[in-house]
Chains A and B, each alone.
Chain A
Amino acid sequence: MIKMTKYSMYTKMIWNALLRRRSRMLIALLAVAIGATVVSGLVTIYYDVPRQMGREFRSYGANLLLTPAGDQQVMAQNLVANATALLPSDKLIGIAPYLYDRIKLNEQPFLVAGTHFQAVKKVSPYWQIRGEWPADQSEDIVIGAEVAERLEIEPGQQVTLAAAGSETEKKVKVAGILRTGGSEENFIFLDLSLLQQMLKKEGVISIAQVSITANEAELNTLTQQIGEQVPGVAPRLVKQVTQSEQTVLGKLQALVYLVTIVVLLLTLICVATTMMAVVTERRKEIGLKKALGAENRSIILEFLGEGLALGALGGLLGTILGFFFAQAVSVNVFGRMISFQPLIALLALVVSIAVTGLACLIPVKIATEVEPAIVLRGE
């Protein structure tokens, strides 16, 4: 019974302290909430940046090539399907198959590549097409800028295609002209199945370009898996792309990491100083309580309770705000939503409670060590 009243007295004192001193407590609460917002917001961003940035890096194009094993020039299309079944589908950006050969365009020999244009758009987003991309299932073609310049072809023009050694000719429309600054500018691109038909090479391709969000280690495991489980396919990493991505992404993550640490430290110190100021102000109250016979322990406990309550409330508020901030950043920068991370929310809550509690304890500890008479006399 006595214990009960003691507890109810304790809660009452804390509640009163929080409510009576409304404006001051509001300040303290605001400070804690700001701190927690920064913690939860930044940690969420730190956690999310490599994943989101990794996707952006895929604009460099394929990072994995599936080539025919051994001395073969081509491989069966279904082998590629077997290989891609081993890749995690949620990380896969796209797979573009290519069949390379020579073809005659308006009676002149050129290099030709058959592919799926929809897949190319995903794998090689840097392709710059003047004119239009060919529509799905159409017989329209895309020609490289060098070819177009040489033959003075404009988008929309009709050209004649003929496979080497065959008499059948095909009239097709040039949908667009490709500019990449690379060797692609010397090629003619058309739909894979159309080229396979023309060359009578049904069901085979020369190479498949794969774009997948994975780091170098993951890619190495994937290539090993494919190499072992799909005979006839030799997977190769595009080293320039994978390694550079690793370096740049690593630096970016380190940057966000360091910034997060610095911001966190400073915010926590800010929160602590504010809490200290709020508590130091109440030295007189502590002196009075001591004079009335309160023990140091119970005074410390009371202030600790206040601090913890404040920390929990402010932390909760800040965690929610921080999540919304991180969400806003993700949507604005990367155009994608992020998922709620319970672990980060918990971390922000614990950190804010711990910091508030600690910041309360230091000034209270100092105040309780002073003689009540000196404190009450003022100064």
Chain B
Amino acid sequence: MFWEMLKGALVRQSRKMFMVAITIALGVSLTTAMLNVMLDVGDKVNRELKAYGANITVIPRAASVLRDVYGIEASSGKTGQYLQEADVGKLKTIFWANNIVAFSPLLETKATVGSDDITVVGTWFNRQLELPTGEVVETGIKELKSWWTVEGNWINDTDIKGAMVGSTLARKLNLHIGDSVEIVLPGGTQGEALTVQGIFNSGGAEDDQIFVTLPFVQQGLNLPGKIGKIEVSAITTPENELARKAAHDPKSLSLKEWETWYCTAYVSSIAYQIEEAVGDSRAKPVRQVAESEGTILQKTQLLMLLITGLSLAGSALGISNLLMANIMERSREFGLLKALGATDRDVLLLTLTEIMTTGLVGGIAGYFLGLGFAQIIGHNVFGTAVAINAMVIPWVIISVILITLVGSLPAMRMLLSLRPAAVLHGR
């Protein structure tokens, strides 16, 4: 009997129930979309902030003072003043390897072109690197320096006779794409003719430099397998008190603090782990990038949280409102049921089951609709899919049940105090 009545109500009221279901579906889709976007926005914005460049530089331990302060070039072949190119892949073996999005080794040297002294930098442009784990990653300065505007082409790592020239230098030396430039490396007398494949504008000091393949510089300086420094771009957690304390001196932490610090993606702990992995190295976090990323990330997340809160509250109130309107509208029907001998419990059970069934259908439809909305937002804004977070599902279920229940509460109270005679009489 109960199920027949339920079926009857649902079918008879199909249009109204459809409306309730649609509203619940819309509310749920909003909840799903906003929660998914909110949970993923940190990661997405963090990747965008990578445009600010490397946030960690890795330099040889011994050279860190000598070269930076006095500008002394170490004599070739001396160990300790260079890093090993073979060690670069080790970056991807640290605890936070997945957070390292791009890195590139650099070997810098003074050289002469004609009568001008210039800086030549050997590096990886876009290299497929096979890791000890067998994984293959693609990295290099093309990824690392995403803000460069390049006229012509990026050079290929195998093209040892190719060069990319900074825009300021190109203007000074009157170089154009396709031109040949003769570079004399220190110690060499014979110039090497390279073809200018691209001219880049970085807006920084690099505009006065020439970028070439790493083997070219290594061979020219007779430093096979050696590199000067590694620039690393990593996704990091915003800095806090613990991170600052650790950055100053990791040894000052208690064991528990140390564990927390080591297992959090702070820029200082990633730098520390890089030092552990790459022999004889010193990893320095670039404060300018690390600190600013933290602030901007925090603000964005808080902003999204508040917007999500508003839209959730809005959709919750909207749904409960509609439920109330729906139940009030049917007071005559419930009056009749009561007059025919239905107890309060029967009526409540019937309406609640009705609403829950509608809520379930609307909720499921809404969840998938919401996933669609989240993907639309992700693709339009960030150009990548928003990660679907399973954590959202229980939240959505809880909120649907809570909203439908709380939303129908005032209406339930009205149902209980309903006097059949008055209602059937029509007011």
A-to-B contact residues, CB < 8 Å:
23-24, 27-28, 30-31, 34-35, 37-38, 41-42, 45, 49, 53, 56-57, 59-61, 110-111, 124-128, 130, 146-147, 149-150, 179-183, 185-186, 236-244, 247-248, 251-252, 254-256, 258-259, 262-263, 266-267, 269-271, 273-274, 276-278, 280-281, 325, 328-329, 332-334
**B146–chain A nearest beta-carbon distance, Å:** 8
Chain A residues positioned under 8 Å from B34 (CB to CB): 259, 263
Identify B29's interface contact among A59, A255, A266, A334, CB under 8 A: A266
| Assembled-state Cα–Cα distance A130/B245 (Å) | 11
- Pick out which of these stretches binds chain A: B112-120, B121-129, B133-141, B303-311: B303-311
Report the nearest A residue to B288, measured CB to CB. Answer: A126
| Assembled-state Cα–Cα distance A37/B16 (Å) | 26
> Do B68 and A238 touch (CB < 8 A)?
no
Chain A residues positioned under 8 Å from B328 (CB to CB): 23-24, 27, 281
Chain B residues positioned under 8 Å from A274 (CB to CB): 23, 318, 321-322, 325
> Do B244 and A262 touch (CB < 8 A)?
no
Chain B residues positioned under 8 Å from A244 (CB to CB): 49, 51-53, 147
| Assembled-state Cα–Cα distance A267/B317 (Å) | 10
Given contacts A53-B296, A57-B296, A243-B147, contact A263 B314 (CB under 8 A): yes
| Assembled-state Cα–Cα distance A248/B296 (Å) | 10
> Do A49 and B325 touch (CB < 8 A)?
no
Is B41 in contact with chain A by the CB < 8 A criterion? yes
| Assembled-state Cα–Cα distance A236/B201 (Å) | 13
| Assembled-state Cα–Cα distance A266/B318 (Å) | 10
Report the nearest A residue to B300, measured CB to CB. Answer: A252
Report the nearest A residue to B55, measured CB to CB. Answer: A181
Give me the 5 closest cross-chain CB pairs, A-B, nearest first.
Answer: A239-B203, A270-B318, A244-B51, A181-B286, A281-B329
> Do B315 and A267 touch (CB < 8 A)?
yes
> Do A270 and B23 touch (CB < 8 A)?
yes
Identify B315's interface contact among A28, A243, A266, CB under 8 A: A266
Interface residue range, chain B: 35 or more
Is B65 in contact with chain A by the CB < 8 A criterion? yes
> Do A34 and B318 touch (CB < 8 A)?
yes
19 contacts between A and B (CB under 8 A): A31-B321, A34-B318, A35-B318, A38-B314, A53-B296, A146-B64, A181-B286, A182-B288, A238-B203, A238-B204, A244-B52, A252-B45, A270-B322, A271-B318, A273-B23, A274-B23, A278-B325, A281-B329, A329-B303
> Do A277 and B329 touch (CB < 8 A)?
yes
Chain B residues positioned under 8 Å from A186 (CB to CB): 68-69
Is B251 in contact with chain A by the CB < 8 A criterion? no
| Assembled-state Cα–Cα distance A328/B309 (Å) | 12
**B315–chain A nearest beta-carbon distance, Å:** 7
- Pick out which of these stretches binds chain A: B183-191, B256-264, B348-356, B372-380: B372-380
Chain A residues positioned under 8 Å from B52 (CB to CB): 60, 240-241, 244
> Do A239 and B201 touch (CB < 8 A)?
yes
Given contacts A243-B51, A277-B329, contact A262 B321 (CB under 8 A): no
| Assembled-state Cα–Cα distance A333/B308 (Å) | 14
> Do B317 and A45 touch (CB < 8 A)?
no
Is B26 in contact with chain A by the CB < 8 A criterion? yes
Is B110 in contact with chain A by the CB < 8 A criterion? no
Knowing that A60-B52, A242-B203, A263-B30 touch, tell me 15 more A-B residue pairs with CB under 8 angstroms.
A27-B328, A59-B292, A60-B288, A60-B292, A128-B247, A181-B56, A185-B68, A239-B204, A254-B381, A270-B23, A270-B27, A273-B22, A277-B19, A278-B325, A281-B329
Report the nearest B residue to A284, measured CB to CB. Answer: B426
> Do B307 and A259 touch (CB < 8 A)?
yes
> Do B310 and A277 touch (CB < 8 A)?
no
Identify B287's interface contact among A181, A263, A270, A271, CB under 8 A: A181
| Assembled-state Cα–Cα distance A35/B314 (Å) | 7
| Assembled-state Cα–Cα distance A23/B45 (Å) | 46
B207-250: CB near A (< 8 Å → 1, else 0) gives 00000000000000000000000000000000000001001100
| Assembled-state Cα–Cα distance A78/B426 (Å) | 87
| Assembled-state Cα–Cα distance A159/B154 (Å) | 49
Given contacts A243-B51, A263-B311, contact A277 B303 (CB under 8 A): no
| Assembled-state Cα–Cα distance A186/B69 (Å) | 6
Most buried by B among A28, A45, A255, A278: A255
| Assembled-state Cα–Cα distance A348/B354 (Å) | 35
> Do B319 and A270 touch (CB < 8 A)?
yes
> Do B380 and A41 touch (CB < 8 A)?
no
Is B291 in contact with chain A by the CB < 8 A criterion? yes
Chain A residues positioned under 8 Å from B314 (CB to CB): 34-35, 37-38, 263, 267, 270
> Do B203 and A262 touch (CB < 8 A)?
no
Is B395 in contact with chain A by the CB < 8 A criterion? no
B293-336: CB near A (< 8 Å → 1, else 0) gives 00110011011101100110011011101101110110000000
> Do A251 and B299 touch (CB < 8 A)?
no
| Assembled-state Cα–Cα distance A371/B143 (Å) | 70
> Do A130 and B303 touch (CB < 8 A)?
no
| Assembled-state Cα–Cα distance A270/B403 (Å) | 14
Given contacts A244-B52, A269-B26, A333-B306, contact A181 B288 (CB under 8 A): yes
| Assembled-state Cα–Cα distance A127/B402 (Å) | 48
| Assembled-state Cα–Cα distance A174/B27 (Å) | 60
| Assembled-state Cα–Cα distance A359/B322 (Å) | 14
> Do B48 and A146 touch (CB < 8 A)?
no
Report the nearest B residue to A248, measured CB to CB. Answer: B48
> Do A126 and B292 touch (CB < 8 A)?
yes
Is B415 in contact with chain A by the CB < 8 A criterion? no
| Assembled-state Cα–Cα distance A149/B300 (Å) | 37
Report the nearest A residue to B18, measured CB to CB. Answer: A273
Chain B residues positioned under 8 Å from A236 (CB to CB): 203
| Assembled-state Cα–Cα distance A325/B285 (Å) | 38
Chain A residues positioned under 8 Å from B56 (CB to CB): 181
Report the nearest B residue to A150, measured CB to CB. Answer: B65
Given contacts A31-B318, A128-B287, A259-B377, contact A237 B19 (CB under 8 A): no
